Amino acid sequence: MAKLTVSDLDVKDKKVLMRVDFNVPVKNGVIGDDNRIVAALPTIKYIIEHDGKAILFSHLGRVKTEDDKKALTMRPVAQRLSDLLGKPVTFVPATRGKQLEDAIADMKDGDVLLFENTRFEDLDGKKESGNDQELGQYWASLGDEFVNDAFGTAHRSHASNVGIATAMKAANKPVAAGFLMEKEIKFLGNAVDNPKHPFVAILGGAKVSDKIGVIDHLLDKADKVIIGGGMTYTFYAAKGMKIGTSLVEKDKVGLAKEILDKAGDKIVLPSDSVVAEKFDNDVPHKVVEGDIPDGYMALDIGPKSIKEFEDVLKDAKTVVWNGPMGVFEMSNYAEGTLEIGKFLGTLTDATTIVGGGDSTAAVKQLGVGDKLTHISTGGGASLEYLEGKELPGIAAISNK
């Protein structure tokens, strides 16, 4: 069912509570990558350009001790947001109380306020992460409407997304998705539930065990499932092939066998690999076909596999990619991921989607992200979406 979005709301003169994902890397008060702040700008601008009052909040890192508060304050984030918006942002160093309530009461239409890290509430009995009902109700009482734009935490049931949404709805106040959330639902949701065929899934990364849910769900939906990366060799073992010292999950070999039996020729495995004697960029490496020789580990798919995968992908209308094809962090084993990324960029007729924390990092690092249709902003959240799970943060948004 379609979800209510911010453009369905009348935000004029309204106090719009907005859950953003400002969980950015901060070191000594300095923000590293500010992509997540940039990604929230369209929704924030929409609210203020339509004369709403934008009251923003997010978690930042994990707050376990009183000491963590110094490193994990939202103050530098407020400054960066102000720079990006080109207007002042009021920062309130509290998550509740008179100072926050007074600051909200003082807001004029078009103003922006950011309050302190929602996880500061975790020091008091895990109120944020444990979705404390009273906390969700309190935050809901601060505004007229709630917009959730934090896809990255949508797989969690916290007070700042699910708790507040539940309380808003109970008070007959609207709960809507922001534009970023809307985009994630549109691309990830449509790709999996309503794909244009041929639909090809590319699954890689380190472990079969991390991806069982994704493999199962996508095997049902996709026309072909390409397997690459470290998980390949658990499948090789299941086929009785030699794997040398490659990554393997011995306790998942049986499961890999079951998956292969069930999937028949839907699964496409690499036919060659780049192998080395050690998990190291600076050791001799070579390409081998099929079996991995004793004393060698497979660290990337080989050139023949790249061609074979491209052949499967060339007519695809939908491609979902999760998991790098090799150890892309090392230049000698990045080729498979790089070439598949480049090839996806040439599929102008297809919707191409990347989800997963390391996969997103890989396409960005290798510079192949620009030509893809959608790169998800949520690591864990996108994986759970690809598993076909209902994400609590999305479920809590009002339907249209």
**Quick check: 176 and 397 in contact, CB under 8 A?**
yes
The 3-state DSSP class for residue 88 equals coil
Answer yes or no: 380 catalytic: yes
356 is in an annotated binding site: yes
Q: Which of the residues 137 through 156 are near Mg ion (CB under 5 A)?
A: none
Residue in 121, 132, 358, 384 binding Mg ion, rule: CB under 5 A = 358
Determine whether the annotation assigns residue 80 to a binding site.
no
Does the annotation count 36 as an active-site position? yes
The 8-class DSSP code of residue 275 comes to: E
Residue 345 lies near Mg ion (rule: CB under 5 A): no
329 lies in the site for ligand ADP, by CB under 6 A: yes
Q: Of 230, 302, 378, 393, which lies in the binding site for ligand ADP, with binding defined by CB under 6 A? A: 230
357 is a catalytic site residue? yes
Does residue number 384 form part of the binding site for Mg ion (CB under 5 A)? no
Q: What is the 8-class DSSP label of residue 332?
A: G
Q: Which of 130, 345, 357, 388 is catalytic?
A: 357
- Calculate ∠ Cα 242-245-248, nearest 5°: 80
Find out whether 211 is annotated in a ligand binding site: yes
- Interior/surface letters 64-77, b for 16+ CB within 10 angstroms, e for the rest: eeeebeeebbbebb
Residue 326 contact, options ligand ADP, Mg ion, none, Cβ 5-8 Å cut-off depending on partner type: ligand ADP
Cis ω for the linkage preceding 392 (within 30 of 0): no
52 is in an annotated binding site: no
Residue 380 interacts with Mg ion (CB under 5 A): yes or no: no
Whether the Cβ atoms of residue 144 and residue 382 lie closer than 8 Å to each other:
no
Cβ proximity to Mg ion: between 118 and 322 the closer is 322
Which C-beta is closer to ligand ADP: that of 163 or that of 230? 230
HEC states along 100-118?
A: HHHHHHCCCCCCEEEECCH
Q: Is 322 in the site for ligand ADP (CB under 6 A)?
A: yes
Active-site residue, from 3, 19, 36, 127 = 36
Q: Cβ closer to ligand ADP: 303 or 357?
A: 357
CA dihedral 79, 158, 101, 45 (to 10 degrees): 50
Structure tokens at 225: 């499932």
Q: CB-wise, 152 or 204, nearer to ligand ADP? A: 204
Does the annotation count 19 as an active-site position? Answer: no
Contact 348/357 with Cβ under 8 angstroms?
no
Q: And the tokens for 2?
A: 């379609």
Number of chain residues interacting with Mg ion (CB under 5 A): 2
Residue stretches of the annotated binding site: 21-23, 36, 59-62, 119, 156, 211, 329, 356-359
The catalytic site residues sit at 36, 207, 357, 380
Binding site for ligand ADP (CB under 6 A): 204-206, 210, 229-230, 247, 298-299, 322-324, 326-327, 329, 356-359, 379, 383
